[in-house]
Amino acid sequence: MITEYIEAGLTQARYEIIEDEEPYYGEVPGLAGVWATGKTLEECRKNLAEVIDGWIVIRLKKGLSIPPPTIPNPHKREIGVDPLSRILKRAEITRKQWLKNDE
């Protein structure tokens, strides 16, 4: 059951690329405080799964409720990493540099 909950959480995760040593950032909307980073998307997902597991354990120990996992809508298409981040990374410029050039 916990494994299924973690998998459901990962299907709802949103990812973006940030300026950091671990540039992949992921979070699960609806699970307060659940986020992770990684050097690769795969590492970020692995770390995020561990965070979800720990989040469940803490909530159970504190007697807090655990919201039901959200089932993804197969007809809704989401892009894990926003397209602008991908473009800026390929162009090797930061979001700040891009915004400055737009002024």
- The pLDDT tens digits for 4-63 are 889 989 999 999 999 999 999 999 988 989 999 999 999 999 999 999 999 999 999 999
- The pLDDT tens digits for 47-64 are 999 999 999 999 999 998
CATH numbers and ranges of domains, the chain:
2-78 (3.30.160.250)
What is the pTM (predicted TM-score) of this model?
Answer: 0.66
Q: What ranges in the chain are assigned the alpha helix state H? A: 2-12, 41-61, 83-91, 95-102
User: CA nearest 17: which of 91, 75, 70?
Assistant: 91
Whether the CB-CB separation of 32 and 97 falls below 8 Å is answered with no
The CA distance from 34 to 16, in Å, is 14
Higher pLDDT, 66 or 83: 66
